Amino acid sequence: MGYGQRQELNLGGSASRHCFYDLTPSSQYQISVYTQMQEVEGPSVSITDMTLPEPTQAPTEAPTTKPTPTIPPAKEVCKEAKADLAFLVDGSWSIGDDNFMKITRFLYSTMGSLDLIGPDGTQVCHMIIPTTMSIQPIF
């Protein structure tokens, strides 16, 4: 319906509501309701209001991102490693027997996961550092 145009509807007495379709977004409309008995029209009840703005477009789908690469288990990574590893182990009695055994198990499991130990693979050395230290390793 264009600006300034009128539209008239006659609703039966059993109608308790009516929907208006094809209204223009962000436009002002005046709606008046009259009672009518036989041929006599009663006073009107009117309301003036704006229609809602035009709905925004649905958001576009989020760009698909590649999942972050997963890190393979340590043993799989270490199998192809070629590196120089140096382990410095606290050999003083201050760490206690239990902690020294934890360190020993860590060294065994780490070196056991390496595929090749030597010049063509991973070169490993370890030093047990006592309470006082005087050796200076050269790499």
Give the model confidence (pLDDT) of 102-138 as tens digits.
888 888 877 777 777 888 888 888 787 776 655 555 5
Return the ∠ at Cα 130 (arms to 124 and 133), rounded to 5°: 85
- The widest CA-to-CA distance across the chain, in whole angstroms, is 118
Q: What is the pLDDT of residues 12-63, one digit of tens each?
A: 777 777 887 888 888 888 888 877 777 787 887 888 888 888 877 777 777 6
Q: How many residues does the chain have?
A: 139
pLDDT band (50, 70, 90) for residue 76: low
Please tell me the distance from the alpha carbon of residue 17 to that of residue 7, in angstroms, as a whole number: 17
Please tell me the distance from the alpha carbon of residue 87 to that of residue 104, in angstroms, as a whole number: 11
What six digits make up the tokens of 62?
């989020």
In the 8-state DSSP scheme, what is residue 93? G
